[in-house]
């Protein structure tokens, strides 16, 4: 947990008012040529090149008018300004002090010079001297008029100082007052106003008021777009500010989009040797550092370092900033010697340039202390951390992130030294200093999720460290109150992260919050076991559910909110269209070929995200019921699940950690939790070996004996290790399985309940299938929700597609993207797919399309109108980009559809189907993501509204598939539940198969996901029966009418 704590201290690029040059009109008298040259260099920000011209002007003024003349004083001030820009702080200070002295002699009130000096001291960390100067300038500023721009600049500079000192309330009032003056004089539609709101935004960002900060940054961005255009370097600075904000919010996808767009604009407008370009590199690198992509981060840092050395040399704080981040990068990646050298170099430069009694030097001390803690150099680390905490408190007070980090570091240190009381104290303090609402003398652990924090990231680190300390205290003392305290803290952390997750819009960002939450879930479950009370076990089950299929659950909540949240149809449709556009742009982002196209898509994504955020914020205020439904907690409770189970059903749910696999078993009358001691790597190795034996046809042919042994050994081992313990009740007949991690890649039906030795007869194997009807779900929450929704209306008709794959002419398909053309050429024929669909057509009512008619466009046109969808075709899983996993329809040379129905497209469909049967390869297989599960084609159909699916876990044999499907539909039509129909189809296949054709490789790939309820099927026979009954009714009705008429 130590290695990324300093990401909390990410720098922020803002356009400061701070240092202001005098009006250049005063310097044109007899110095026009020099002034013109100075101005040219200044505009290009070539400050080093401007210095000789300023020095010449200053010297000329000295000779002609003397040092007490305003012309000399002005050139002296300007020379100090340029030296400040290039990092020559001591020389700049000397010149500005000279200006201050000369102004006093000639009784000139010069607020600009005082602002310059104060800003310099603030930059150097000398807040005492900076404040003294600004207090001195208060009278001068007032004399200029309290409604003047100069006074606004003075207030702004004082506010920036208070912000640095952590006095946020004072800073906020001054920023607001300065901005009010600017609005009165110049209005909001002016660049001076954007400077003010940018800096106020940084204050809100530092204090954790991210929504307020975002609003100001977006306002600034909009004004700059209108005044300067979207290709201006100043516009790029606002994009950068937003990127840094989104990084701190943990909104990594947005942060990357804005960083890339900002960098591109700066590169085009200012070039690769400009300070802003170096800063943009640093920001992007820090984003990649934050998500652990060190290979992307390092070259960006090194390039930024090179640019800054060229601009300012090594004795500059901007150079040290790069050293800090390189130190963190090398520390996180295990290159400790390189990390230490970076930290030591930065610490030495800061000590030499600005001294040791300032906040910037403290950061170097903290960085080095963390490294020594990792390296077990504890005495050195303790000395550094105490120095950092003491100086930080004296200089900035307690309510700032750097002090929070210093306390966290001390807590970590004393935990390592086993000084647990001290560790507890400092961890508790690190939580309290991160919020204005917490009293450190009375820390309410159960209420931690109700407070607002300056830094969400830092609070998670502090809570996790406190959990470690409390756990150590319990292990040392066996004090049960510590165990309860640990449990309550984990509960609060889980609730807090649920709140954080609901603040995010982007799916990837939601999943990243779950990675941190996973640690708290583990802590909660492990402690629930130790407390060993029924209520704790039940709550532990809900903890496990917190990290399962969250995005799918959110989608369901969103759909429900649109229906029941009193949202007008027009707005509901607008939200759906925005989501569709977002999905399309994300897909396009993966397929664009050139850098320019990538930049365009990034820009469009950024703009669309802003539009979506604005839209959802407007709905929150106007439609509170919609907002409440969209963000309600629907996580399943154990009691709810039990109330929905029948006496013969058992739900088994897994939660995997690095060293323990937790198994929850829920029946009508019991909730049990079994901790299974097994390392994640060992389990995944067993799973991989079994899956290979079940799915690799070549392996089973060429090394049959080895494949057989791999299967029987691992199929029985997994049954014994992770299933058998839950199957004590012999009355149980139905298993509902909710997997975690790689377990989602296996069919439990193929597990063996007894060890098998000697000759292998696959018809007689002790499959788990023989004893149980097995269905699968992504989470208990979704199972509950699916069950409560009831049966979708079904017309009982089937829409079936049997795709074919004839040889294609590459030239005729040259309009296809290379990726899709290569994919098409790789697809072998499926000779049984047409037969499979034709058999369905002979027995059931519906629409049955084969050959060229089995294309993507017709599917999209017809899918909405059928109760059952059956797709017999190739499926392709894309493990790198799951949203590009696809179903391959027949190629028909359509210019609009590429005949690869991708997962992202499926998720945007609106289906009425009660059941989707994916008689295709790898439709249930995909990449596992923490918090969401296996990202597969099947999951996309659930997003589209399908409550039940039949899917495959690997590439299937099309001949055995055709047999299985025919049998499955036979039992489904007879009224069996979906899972029972599939089970019976498999059992029938095994009994009828000859020899090795009974091997699970041929039948176990297909599993049933979701709702198991039976479904009405319109058979050909039932249609004729209905026609006959209708005819007889008409005859009887006609006869009755005739008889009644005669009687009259």
**Which strand (E) or helix (H) includes residue 252?**
helix 252-270
Q: Which residues contact 391 (CB under 8 A, 6 or more apart)?
A: 357, 362, 365
Whether the Cβ atoms of residue 320 and residue 346 lie closer than 8 Å to each other: yes
Q: How far apart are CA 1006 and CA 836, in angstroms?
A: 16
Half-sphere exposure of 817 (CA within 13 A, CB side): 12
| Contact status, residue 31 vs residue 60, Cβ threshold 8 Å | yes
Q: How far is Cα 957 from Cα 954, in angstroms, rounded to an integer?
A: 10
pLDDT number for residue 831: 80
Place of tokens 């960085």: 367
Report DSSP state, residue 752. Answer: B
Tokens (6 digits) for 626: 């919609």
Count of C-beta atoms within a 10 Å radius of residue 36: 12
3-class DSSP state of 656: strand
pTM: 0.76
pLDDT score recorded for residue 830:
83
The confidence score (pLDDT) of residue 508 equals 63
Q: How far apart are CA 189 and CA 224, in angstroms?
A: 9
Maximal C-alpha separation, the chain: 136
In terms of C-beta density within 10 A (0-12 exposed, 13-18 middle, 19 or more buried), how is residue 596 classed?
A: exposed
Strand partners, 162: none
CA distance 60 to 52: 12
Give the CA count within 13 Å in the CB-facing half-sphere of 620.
9
What distance, in Å, lies between the first and last C-alpha atoms of the chain? 95
According to the model, what pLDDT value does residue 12 have?
A: 34
Handedness of CA 988, 990, 991, 997 (dihedral sign): positive
Q: What whole-number distance in Å separates Cα of residue 847 and Cα of residue 841?
A: 8
- Phi and psi torsions of 418, nearest 5°: 65, 30
**Can you give the pLDDT at residue 574?**
84
Angstrom distance (rounded) from CA 514 to CA 494: 9
pLDDT of residue 510: 64
State the Cα–Cα distance between residues 785 and 689, nearest whole angstrom: 35
User: Quick check: 712 and 752 in contact, CB under 8 A?
Assistant: yes
Residue 40 phi/psi, 5° resolution?
Answer: -60, -45
pLDDT block averages, 10 residues each, the chain of length 1048: 32 32 40 84 82 89 91 93 86 94 89 91 83 88 86 92 80 93 91 91 79 83 90 92 88 89 92 90 95 95 95 88 96 96 95 84 92 96 95 80 88 96 96 86 88 83 96 95 95 88 65 76 93 93 80 63 70 81 78 66 76 80 75 82 96 94 96 95 95 91 92 97 95 95 93 90 95 94 80 78 88 80 85 87 93 93 92 81 83 89 85 87 51 61 87 84 91 95 96 92 94 88 52 48 42
Q: What is the DSSP string of 44-67?
A: TT-HHHHHHHHHHHHHHHHHHH-T
């Amino acid at each position: 947990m130590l290695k990324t704590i300093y990401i909390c201290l990410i720098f922020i690029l803002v356009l400061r008012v701070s240092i202001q040059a005098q009006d250049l009109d005063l310097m044109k008298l007899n110095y026009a040529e020099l002034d013109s040259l100075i101005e040219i260099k200044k505009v290009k920000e070539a400050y080093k090149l401007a210095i000789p011209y300023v020095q010449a002007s200053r010297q000329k003024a000295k000779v002609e008018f003397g040092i007490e003349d305003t012309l000399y004083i002005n050139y002296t001030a300007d020379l100090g300004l340029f030296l400040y820009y290039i990092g020559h702080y001591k020389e700049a200070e000397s010149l500005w002090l000279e200006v201050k002295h000369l102004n006093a002699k000639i009784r000139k009130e010069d607020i600009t010079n005082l602002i310059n000096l104060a800003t310099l001291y603030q930059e150097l960390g000398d807040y005492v001297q900076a404040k003294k100067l600004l207090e001195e300038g208060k009278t001068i500023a007032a004399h200029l008029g309290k409604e003047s721009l100069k006074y606004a600049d003075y207030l702004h500079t004082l506010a920036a100082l208070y912000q640095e000192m952590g006095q946020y309330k004072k800073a906020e009032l001054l920023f607001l007052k300065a901005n009010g003056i600017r609005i009165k004089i110049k209005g909001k539609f002016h660049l001076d106003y954007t400077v003010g709101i940018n800096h106020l935004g940084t204050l809100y960002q530092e204090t954790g008021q991210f929504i307020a900060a975002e609003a100001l940054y977006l306002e600034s961005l909009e004004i700059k777009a209108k005044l300067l255009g979207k290709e201006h370097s100043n516009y790029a600075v606002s994009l950068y500010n937003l990127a840094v904000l989104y990084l701190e919010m943990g909104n990594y996808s947005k942060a990357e989009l804005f960083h890339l767009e900002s960098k591109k604009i700066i590169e085009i407008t200012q070039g690769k040797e400009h300070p802003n370009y170096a800063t943009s590199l640093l920001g992007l690198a820090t984003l990649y550092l934050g998500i652990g992509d060190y290979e992307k981060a390092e070259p960006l840092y090194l390039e930024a370092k090179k640019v800054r050395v060229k601009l300012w040399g090594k004795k500059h704080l901007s150079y040290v900033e790069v050293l800090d981040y390189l130190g963190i990068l090398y520390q996180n990646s295990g290159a400790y010697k390189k990390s230490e050298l970076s930290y030591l170099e930065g610490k030495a430069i800061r000590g030499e340039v600005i001294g040791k009694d300032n906040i910037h030097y403290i950061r170097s001390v903290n960085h080095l202390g963390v490294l020594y803690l990792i390296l077990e150099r504890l005495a050195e680390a303790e000395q550094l951390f105490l120095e950092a905490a003491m100086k930080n408190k004296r200089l900035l007070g307690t309510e700032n992130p750097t002090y929070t980090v210093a306390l966290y570091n001390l807590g970590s240190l004393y935990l390592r030294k086993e000084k647990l009381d001290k560790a507890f104290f400092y961890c508790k303090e690190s939580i309290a200093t991160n919020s204005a609402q917490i009293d450190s003398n009375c820390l309410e652990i159960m209420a931690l999720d109700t407070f607002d924090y300056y830094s969400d990231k830092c609070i998670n680190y502090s809570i996790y460290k406190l959990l470690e300390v409390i756990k150590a205290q319990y292990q040392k003392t066996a004090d049960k109150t510590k165990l309860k305290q640990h449990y309550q803290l984990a509960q609060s952390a889980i609730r807090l992260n649920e709140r954080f997750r609901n603040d995010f819009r982007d799916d990837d960002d939601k999943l990243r919050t779950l990675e941190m939450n996973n640690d708290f879930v583990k802590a909660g479950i492990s402690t629930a076991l130790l407390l060993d009370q029924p209520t704790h076990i039940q709550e532990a089950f809900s903890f496990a559910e917190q990290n399962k299929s969250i995005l799918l659950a959110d989608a369901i909540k969103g759909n429900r909110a649109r229906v029941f949240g009193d949202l007008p149809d027009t707005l509901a449709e607008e939200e759906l269209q925005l989501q569709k556009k977002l999905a399309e742009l994300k897909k396009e982002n993966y397929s664009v070929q050139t850098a320019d196209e990538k930049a365009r898509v990034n820009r469009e994504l950024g703009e669309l995200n802003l539009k979506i955020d604005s839209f959802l914020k407007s709905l929150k205020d106007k439609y509170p019921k919609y907002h409440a439904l969209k963000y309600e907690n629907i996580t399943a409770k154990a009691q709810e699940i039990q109330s929905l189970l029948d006496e013969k059903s058992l739900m088994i749910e897994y939660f995997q950690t690095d060293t323990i696999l937790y198994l929850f078993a829920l029946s009508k009358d019991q909730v049990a939790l079994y901790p299974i001691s097994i390392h994640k790597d060992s389990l995944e190795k067993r799973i991989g070996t079994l899956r290979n034996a079940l799915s690799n046809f070549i392996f089973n042919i060429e090394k049959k004996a080895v494949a057989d042994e791999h299967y029987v050994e691992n199929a029985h081992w997994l049954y014994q290790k992770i299933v058998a313990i839950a199957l004590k009740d012999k009355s149980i007949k139905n298993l509902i399985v909710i997997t975690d991690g790689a377990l989602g890649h296996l069919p439990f039906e193929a597990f063996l309940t007894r060890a098998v030795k000697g000759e292998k007869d696959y018809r007689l194997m002790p499959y788990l299938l023989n004893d149980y009807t097995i269905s699968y779900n992504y989470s208990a929450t979704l199972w509950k929700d699916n069950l409560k929704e009831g049966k979708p209306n079904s017309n009982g008709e089937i829409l079936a597609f049997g795709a074919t794959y004839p040889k294609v002419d590459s030239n005729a398909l040259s309009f296809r993207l290379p990726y899709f053309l290569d994919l098409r050429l790789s697809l072998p024929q499926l000779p049984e797919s047409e037969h499979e669909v034709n058999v369905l057509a002979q027995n059931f009512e519906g629409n049955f399309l084969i050959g060229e008619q089995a294309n993507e466009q017709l599917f999209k046109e017809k899918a909405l109108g059928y109760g059952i969808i059956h797709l017999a075709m190739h499926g392709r899983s894309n493990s790198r980009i799951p949203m590009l996993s696809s179903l391959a329809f027949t190629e028909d040379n359509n210019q609009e559809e590429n005949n690869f129905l991708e997962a992202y497209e499926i998720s945007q469909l609106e289906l009425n189907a009660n059941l989707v049967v994916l008689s295709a390869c790898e439709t249930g297989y995909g990449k596992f993501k923490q918090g969401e599960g296996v990202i597969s084609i099947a999951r996309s159909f659930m997003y589209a509204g399908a409550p039940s699916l039949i899917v495959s876990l690997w590439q299937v044999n099309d001949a055995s598939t055709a047999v299985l499907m025919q049998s499955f539909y036979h039992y489904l039509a007879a009224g069996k539940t979906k899972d029972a129909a599939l089970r019976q189809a498999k059992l029938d296949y095994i009994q009828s198969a000859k020899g090795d054709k009974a091997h699970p490789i041929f039948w176990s790939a297909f599993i049933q996901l979701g709702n198991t309820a039976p479904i009405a099927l319109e058979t050909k026979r039932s249609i004729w029966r209905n026609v006959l009954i209708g005819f007889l009714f008409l005859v009887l009705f006609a006869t009755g009418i005739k008889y009644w008429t005669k009687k009259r």
